[in-house]
Structure 1
Amino acid sequence: MGYQLAREAFSEIFESIKKKYDIWAPVRKEGEGTFSEIDVIRYDKIEDLDEIEWEKRSDYSFKESLLKIRETIFYFTEDETIVPKEQEKDLLIFLRSCEMHALKRLDEMYLKSGKEDFYYARMRKKAKFILMGCKESCETGFCVSMGTNKSENYDAYLKLKNNRVCLDVSDEELKKYFKGMPEAEVLPEFVQANLEKVELPKHLSKESAKLPIWEEYGARCIGCGRCNFVCPTCTCFTMQDIFYKDNEKAGERRRVWASCQVDKYDTIAGGHEFRTKKADKVRFKVLHKIYHYEKRFGYPMCVGCGRCDNVCPEYISYSNLINRLSKEEKRNEE
């Protein structure tokens, strides 16, 4: 059901919505980028629609609104462990289409792949999602190639048009806030073409793991892990036990974001490390995104948001790597 409201009328409804929901959206952080004169766009709680960055894709994904970078999973003493209480308010999160598809990947891994993850599940059950349209393609995104440029499974769609707020609301609970408001047809805006185009390899062979491009890209990679941290579908984490200074037998266990590209991430008991070379780490990440995950779940893990291309300090283009991999496979089939 669609609505068109004046900004003043919507502001009153928005105040009511905030009583029940913490609202997260991409926000421009002035001077908080790599250097003091560079801005960064990342997710944060908002109080007004004017705080939202509507035009540019966020540098960091929505993931940190559902999965904290550092999350205490329990407190411990000599005698007991205590799980932190869940937050009181529900969540309302603004997403773009590619991120709606990324949410599907997170659900697959945290809720359906083995036993349900307790911490993700309780946050996920409290969350609803508002789709943000994309008038134009971002510079490095390739969502059209990945089939993630369109999405229908949103709870609401919202856009600003002059001094009006246009909404398409599908969630019954959210519809209650707009009862009696003037109805109108509102259609989401979706990107139809990207500047960047990617062709996924259709038939990867075992020989693809031995291709020289892995050594080439591995020689450039510095193992910083930034590509993983901005990715909306990466889920790697590590554990930290924090002991309090005033009582060394008490503390908390935290789940902390981690990266498969960082040295020692995959070190196990006895000091064995599965992938010591940067080339092996790059190969593992790429094939997991476009091959291993798809083999298990039926669709690629990557959603084509293009953030990894933007954030890499060595200018490694993930999309270019995929296209080169496709060309190598075609050459091997000839």
Structure 2
Amino acid sequence: MGYKTSTAHLDSILRELSKEYSIYAPKTFLGEGTYSDTDRVRYGTVESLGEINFEHKSEFSYKEVLTPISETLFYFTEEEIKESDAPKKGAIIFLRSCDLHAVKRMDDIYLRNGFEDAYYKRIREKTKFILMGCTSSFDSCFCVDMGTNITTNYDAYIKVEGDQAFIDGNFEALLARLEEVEEVSVKPDYVKENQTKVNIPENLSSDIMDSTMWNEYNERCIACGRCNFVCPTCTCFTMQDVFYEGSDGKKAGERRRVWASCQVDGFTEMAGGHSFRGDKGQRMRFKVLHKVHDYKKRFGHHMCVGCGRCDDICPEYISFSACINKLSDGMKEIQK
């Protein structure tokens, strides 16, 4: 059982909630696309349903809310260290089923990976997730084959039809403000079939590392890292120390956690000039096997959620889903 209300009433509730939460959702940024006359859909703060783009897939994921692109961890002077303050507001994130499954992967890495990351945890604990249904699949999505097209792990579900909004869930701060409502049956819309299909071979093993299938990416990949930055489950970061002169004339600075990419030059550089995975094909191999092999061995589910953003963003038209589908032939090759 759920509720039906007007979008105007729900907008008034969202405005009230925005006093306690920063509300993030996919929205259209006019003129900010790849070309001057194109738009871009990515996450931004909203206060009304009209600002949310329910029709198109966001080109970037929700993850920059939970793990900011650049996040100051602490400040330091010559005498002391001060941890950065946590965000004053909580967060509400509108997202699709695949991205909600991606939150579980983020939790695996930051909360269940042998330690708890305090900076991630303080944001995550104050975050609520509102599911956006998918009435049809986008071209590059392969969520069905990855098992991420359906989820029940949401705080609320909202669907908009004209000037009516349908709501389900248990987000008390939202439900407690509902007044002009009608009780109705509300079930989330889920994708049942994708145009893009993937097949992960059952016999996939680390032996696939010896396949020649990775060699083509030495020429095709330009190591820009865009696939990692749009991916909702990539979690790699690096540290940066920024130094400056304090107001009292003494030396001061801050340590920042900044997104990084396993595909770019320098990611594996070590002391003494040593480096691993110098070839771009080796980096592609590392990424693919982490997403659909190694991670599952540890956590019981694949890291990739099939959102297809990496396929959409690659300037060299490298398809991650196509790479997955080459794994069967790669296994046959090494077994000859």
TM range, smaller chain? over 0.9
| CA distance, structure 2, for counterparts of residue 248 and residue 256 of structure 1 | 26
Relative to structure 2, which stretch is displaced further, 252-261 or 267-276?
Answer: 267-276
Compute the TM-score of the two structures, normalised by the length of structure 2.
0.96
Contact (CA 8 Å) 1:44, 1:65: kept in 2 or not? no
Instruction: Give the match's secondary structure for 2:303.
Output: coil
1:171 Cα deviation (Å)? 2.9
| CA distance, structure 2, for counterparts of residue 110 and residue 290 of structure 1 | 19
What is the match of residue 43 of structure 1?
Answer: 43
What is the match of residue 58 of structure 2?
Answer: 58
1:109-128 alignment to 2 at 5 Å? Answer: 109-128=109-128
Deviations 1:214-252 (A, max 9, x none): 011232111000000000000000011111155572011
Runs of 4+ displaced beyond 4 Å: 245-248, 330-334
1:327 Cα deviation (Å)? 3.0
1:54-93 alignment to 2 at 5 Å? Answer: 54-93=54-93
Instruction: Give the match's secondary structure for 2:282.
Output: helix
Contact (CA 8 Å) 1:221, 1:314: kept in 2 or not? yes
Contact (CA 8 Å) 2:199, 2:324: kept in 1 or not? yes
Contact (CA 8 Å) 1:97, 1:132: kept in 2 or not? yes
Contact (CA 8 Å) 1:28, 1:42: kept in 2 or not? yes
What is the match of residue 161 of structure 1?
Answer: 161
Relative to structure 2, which stretch is displaced further, 85-94 or 296-305?
Answer: 85-94
Aligned residue pair count:
334
What is the match of residue 325 of structure 2?
Answer: 323
1:168-183 alignment to 2 at 5 Å? Answer: 168-178=168-178, 181-183=181-183
1:326 Cα deviation (Å)? 2.0
1:124 Cα deviation (Å)? 0.1
Q: Percent of aligned pairs with the same residue?
A: 52
What is the match of residue 216 of structure 1?
Answer: 216
1:181-192 alignment to 2 at 5 Å? Answer: 181-192=181-192
Deviations 1:120-170 (A, max 9, x none): 000000000000001110110100010100010000000111210111122
User: Where do 5+ consecutive residues of structure 1 fail to align?
Assistant: none
Relative to structure 2, which stretch is displaced further, 244-253 or 124-133?
Answer: 244-253
1:309 maps to amino acid? D
What is the match of residue 131 of structure 1?
Answer: 131
What is the match of residue 25 of structure 1?
Answer: 25
| CA distance, structure 2, for counterparts of residue 33 and residue 314 of structure 1 | 18
| CA distance, structure 1, for counterparts of residue 317 and residue 300 of structure 2 | 30
1:279 maps to amino acid? G
1:173 Cα deviation (Å)? 3.9
1:174 Cα deviation (Å)? 3.2
2:17 maps to amino acid? I
1:33 Cα deviation (Å)? 1.8
What is the match of residue 262 of structure 2?
Answer: 260
1:181 Cα deviation (Å)? 3.2
Contact (CA 8 Å) 2:220, 2:318: kept in 1 or not? yes
Structure 1 residues 19 and 201, CA gap change in structure 2 (3 angstroms): same
Structure 1 residues 31 and 248, CA gap change in structure 2 (3 angstroms): farther
Deviations 1:24-66 (A, max 9, x none): 0011111112221221111111121111111110000000111
| CA distance, structure 2, for counterparts of residue 50 and residue 167 of structure 1 | 16
2:133 maps to amino acid? G
Deviations 1:71-113 (A, max 9, x none): 0001110011111111111111001000010000000100010
1:14 Cα deviation (Å)? 2.1
| CA distance, structure 2, for counterparts of residue 245 and residue 262 of structure 1 | 32
User: Where do 5+ consecutive residues of structure 2 fail to align?
Assistant: none
Compute the TM-score of the two structures, normalised by the length of structure 1.
0.96
Contact (CA 8 Å) 2:142, 2:197: kept in 1 or not? yes
Contact (CA 8 Å) 1:17, 1:177: kept in 2 or not? no
Contact (CA 8 Å) 1:144, 1:191: kept in 2 or not? yes
Relative to structure 2, which stretch is displaced further, 19-28 or 165-174?
Answer: 165-174
2:39 maps to amino acid? D
1:287 maps to amino acid? L
